[in-house]
Amino acid sequence: MTEPFLVLVESNTSGTGPLFARRARDLGVRPVLLAEDPGRYGYARGEDLAVVEADTSSAGAVLDAIAALGAGPPAGVTTSSDYFVPVAAEAAHALGLPGPDPGAVTRCRHKGHQRAALAAGGVPVAAHTLVTDADAVLGAVERAGPPVVLKPADGSGSTGVRLCHDLAQATEHAARLLARTHNERGIPTAPGLLVEEYVDGPEFSVEVFGRTPVAVVRKHLGAAPHFVETGHDVPAPVSAGTAQLLADTAVAAVKALGLGHGAAHVELRLSSRGPVLIEVNPRLAGGMIPELIRSALGIDLVGAQVGGALGHRPDLEPRSAHHAALRFLVVDEPSVLDDPPPAPAGPPPYVTATVLTGSRGVPLLPRHDHRDRVGHTAATAPSASSAARAAEDALARLRTSLRPRRAEESPV
């Protein structure tokens, strides 16, 4: 392995995970994935991606794994996984490679510390309290609501996030969150949870690169009390003034947190009092949002992120002015995913993707987070309404793949 190589510290298991490897090759470097459990990444074989079993729990362990490769220093270190952004940033910093500030991304990963930094920077955030024991929940709920939103201090993908309408619901859910010691990937969790004011209003994200707002995205959510994302529209179908207001608030948040290298996925709600920050994630968006942006605007954020880890200047200039929409196939009852229906005789207008990502024939139970998404459809069109309608019509066809689970089919 004498050619330049890019170290990927773990990865998303789908979506942008494979795309990081492809973009690295496009830029003339060999991607090498360090993984504690290589079997997690079924896509690696199809991508001809070198996967090295390694301890990825700390920057020191990653540095040891890189040294053990015997190939000299890498050209860059990065990750597509939310959980490993601090580790990758610390490893890159130790090697003198480009990357975000390790302290800033570590602060972002903890929702309580992030909210404190945003509030200190004058960025509008929901009223909130970080609690670390059940006794503190009562006072926090009384100060913020009800209703209130409870979320793990360092969760991702809506895991463990719940709207609670009264103290009894909040107390019950807080007990579950406080009992957790590891997340869904087996990583130890930070103690505590956030009790947060419920902000009513439509939800958006602003995709920021460095400190440049690239796109405002309209987000669609499933039914309360959960916050499963069920779709996205790019660019958000809002007025230019509203889009600018959301973008300005997102950039202010990035600055307040000390970010400024690479991608930031900034989530907001547009309340009656204006934009309110929900969360800043120091990484690319999930949910195929980067691909929607590439399809609608011609901006390749995955390429920019990989290039940024290699020290390249990003190209953020729009090359098209289309609209893109994505809708997820979501498990909302005990179900089984069968093979997709036969494709229509001719390709539906504007539809660019109809994909099942879940395992066929496996009984499924709703988990009320990103893991409930087992497929998606996407469309690109001249207008927002045409793109949304095409994606929704395609989803209606794809939904026939998901049937209720029969009594004799045991869940996993």
Q: Which residues are catalytic?
A: 283
Pinpoint the alpha helices (H) of 1-68: 16-26, 43-46, 59-68
Spatial contact of 62 and 43, defined as CB atoms under 8 Å apart = no
Distances (CA, A) of 333 to 330, 377, 406: 9, 20, 11
Q: Report DSSP state, residue 204.
A: E
Strand boundaries in 229-291, DSSP class E? 229-234, 263-271, 274-281
Compute the radius of gyration of the chain from its Cα atoms.
21
**DSSP conformation letters of 375-394:** EEEEEEESSHHHHHHHHHHH
Q: How many CB atoms lie within 10 A of CB 163?
A: 18
CA distance 265 to 88: 17
Calculate the CA dihedral of residues 207, 211, 214, 220 and round it to 10 degrees.
Answer: 20
Q: What are phi and psi of 365, to 5 degrees?
A: -120, 140
- Cis peptide leading into 147, omega within 30 of 0? yes
The upper half-sphere exposure of residue 55, i.e. CA atoms within 13 Å in the direction of its Cβ, equals 9
Q: Report DSSP state, residue 84.
A: G
Q: Report DSSP state, residue 83.
A: G
- DSSP H or E stretch at residue 336: strand 335-337
Facing residues of 343 across strands? none
Spatial contact of 297 and 320, defined as CB atoms under 8 Å apart = yes
Residue given tokens 């980067």 in the structure block:
290
